[in-house]
Amino acid sequence: MRKLFTLTLALAISGILFGQKKLLTKVDKMADEIEGKMIEWRRDIHKNPELSNREFKTAEKIATHLKSLGIEVQTGVAHTGVVGVLKGGKPGPVLALRADMDALPVTERVDLPFASKVKSEYNGIETGVMHACGHDTHVAILMAVAEVLARVKSELPGTVKFIFQPAEEGTPPGEEGGAKMMVEQGVLKNPDVDAIFGLHISSDTPVNHFEYKPGGAMAAADVFVIKVKGVQAHGSKPWAGVDPIVVSAQIINGLQTIISRHSELTKEAAVISVGLIRGGVRNNIIPEECEMIGTIRTLDKEMQQDIHERIRKTATLIAESHGATAEVEIRLGVPVTYNDPALTQKMLPTLQRVAGSENVHLVNAKTGAEDFSFYCEEVPGFFYFLGGLPTSYQKGDHIPSHHTPDFYVDDSGLITGLKAMLNMTIDYMNMGK
């Protein structure tokens, strides 16, 4: 009897694996067939970028596409977000796949036939608008994933929730949005999501390569505002007042010693950067106040708390030593993007199968931030990086970074991103809950 049971079980498992392999072969072929359409979507979105919380046309394009596939669609989530639900023909887990939609206030200067010519206003300043971080590729890939999976709906053992998210780059002043708002509005509920995947294209990672890191993969990003108040005086008589600009300079130097002398950098990386400093209106007037604004990047919660406290203490005491005062405000922003180690380990073989194990690289954490982190605080998540660097680039060539006018990614690598997301979806579903 035991032998019969073992044989029956083995045959059942063999049948499941055969069916899974057959489905994977089918979706890979469909991916190849849809590649041209996916690239067209990417180029159209790139040519028509929209700023955070203003992704109206992009959202409409996505919603129209999902509805045409028979996918249940919800719009207006966190202002402009679009959520699609595809229920497979078999019972199984609920998996969320996420793409961000927003562009940046950057004027493009890449010579492309689909380069952005869009102009807008940001913080009261006229600016160009550009997909300078590759979100156009993310949207196009997920639209293609939705189309392929919709075609094999009856064979899917589970449910897929497609999350097209606005405002990953941050909301306009005074507004809410992004992943945090989507989570608050229940995007991971009804049906309840078991896990979530997301990818990000990388301009300095070769096409058809992947990068990943279990645990803390991207940094928490917090904002600090320090207002130094002194005593106004004539520029020719600095001793008659308290110069907040000089005090601010001392505080900036002091902030850097928090990282270089008080942070255990062998544990995790950390960064403090001052991005803005302003004070005064005239060359010969020592002002009454100076303000600085900056970013704090951390990958460890204990280090994050320690650095926050040291910023407050450093600024306050340096100001007091000069007879000034310092008001310190720290605004919590985006938490650490944490890849669930068990989920990462489970999905690694899929990436290696799609791209080849030699093209999948374990990397150090990045000090950039991603609001995908808000999803990872609720459910197990896996966020990985897709190569977009053209093969024509040689070692030593300058590679324009993200968020710059010359940012460029080769869309020939999108097919690898598409196949990876399809394969990961099917593999995860067949693992069960």
Catalytic residues: 102, 168
In order, the DSSP letters of 82-145 are: EEEEEE-SEEEEEEEEEEE---BS-------TT----EEEETTEEEE-B-TTSHHHHHHHHHHH
201-202-203-206 Cα dihedral, nearest 10 degrees: -100
Q: Residue 200 contacts by C-beta under 8 Å, 6 or more apart in sequence? A: 134, 138, 370, 383, 384, 385, 386
Do 421 and 351 form a contact (C-beta atoms < 8 A)? Answer: no
Q: Is 149 left (phi over 0), alpha (psi -120 to 50) or beta?
A: alpha
Distance CA(188)–CA(374), nearest Å, equals 11
In angstroms, the Cα distances linking 123 to 105, 126, 127 are: 10, 8, 10
Residue 161 β-bridge partners: 85, 96
Backbone angles phi, psi at 210, to 5 degrees: -125, 150
